[in-house]
Amino acid sequence: MLKPHSIVMFLIVLSGVLSIAVFNPIIGPLSRDLGLSEFQSGCLVSATGLFWLLGGYFWGRAAFLSSKRLLMLVMLAYVATVAAFAWLADYAASQAQSAPGLFWIFLALRIVSGFFFGGIPAIAQAYIMSWTTPETRTRGMALFGTANGLGFVLGPAMSGVMASVGLTAPMYAAAALLLVMKIWLWLAVPNDSELQRERSASRLSPLDPRIRYYLWAGLLITVTLNILQVTIGFFIQDSLGLNAEATTRLIGYGLAAAGGMVVVTQIFASKYMKRRPERMLRIGLAILTLALVGLLSLLKLTYALFIAAGIGFGFALLGFSSSASVAVRDHEQRGVASFVTAIQGSGAFVGPAAGTAMYTAHMNAPYSICALLIGLTLLAGFARRRADVPTPASVGGEVK
31, 120: one domain: yes
Domain with 302 in it: 207-387
Q: What is the DSSP string of 222-289?
A: HHHHHHHHHHHHHHHHHHH---HHHHHHHHHHHHHHHHHHHHHHHHHHHHHSTT-HHHHHHHHHHHHH
- Could you tell me the CATH number of the domain that includes residue 370? 1.20.1250.20
Which residues, given as ranges, of the chain have pLDDT below 70? 1-4, 25, 28, 38, 63-66, 96-99, 149, 153, 192-202, 244-245, 248, 252, 386-400
State whether 122 and 225 are in the same domain: no
Query: Looking at the domain assignment, is residue 291 inside a domain?
Result: yes
What domain count does the chain have?
Answer: 2
* pLDDT at 151 (0 to 100): 79
Last residue of a domain, one of 134, 166, 201: 201
| 399 within domain boundaries | no
Residue 83: closest CA among 14, 171, 209, 170:
171
- Shared-domain flag, residues 28 and 158: yes
Same domain, 353 and 270: yes
3-state helix, strand, coil in the chain (%, to 5): 80, 0, 20
Tell whether 400 is covered by a domain: no
In a domain, 154, yes or no: yes
Is the domain of 175 the same as that of 294?
A: no
In whole angstroms, what separates CA 38 from the centre of its chain?
23
Do 308 and 352 sit in the same domain of this protein?
Answer: yes
Residue at a domain's end among 167, 201, 235: 201
pLDDT at 329: 82
In a domain, 303, yes or no: yes
Residues 89 and 217 in one domain: no
Domain-located, residue 71: yes
Helices then strands, counting H and E runs in the chain, come out as: 15, 0
Domain final position from 178, 201, 224 = 201
Does residue 222 share a domain with residue 123? no
Confidence (pLDDT) at 394 = 47
Contacts of 145 (CB under 8 A, 6+ apart): 262, 266, 314, 317, 318, 321
Q: How far is CA 52 from CA 84, 229, 366, in A?
A: 18, 18, 24
Whether 297 and 113 have beta carbons less than 8 Å apart is answered as no
pLDDT of residue 161: 74
**Residues 67 and 125 occupy one common structural domain:** yes
| The pLDDT value given to residue 248 | 64
**pTM recorded for the entire structure:** 0.73
* Residue 22 shares a structural domain with residue 88: yes
Task: Based on the fold, state whether residues 157 and 123 are members of the same structural domain.
Answer: yes
What pLDDT is stored for residue 398 in this prediction?
40
Same domain assignment for residues 32 and 179: yes
**Residue 146: its pLDDT value, please?**
74
CA distance 67 to 52: 19
Indicate whether 394 belongs to any domain.
Answer: no
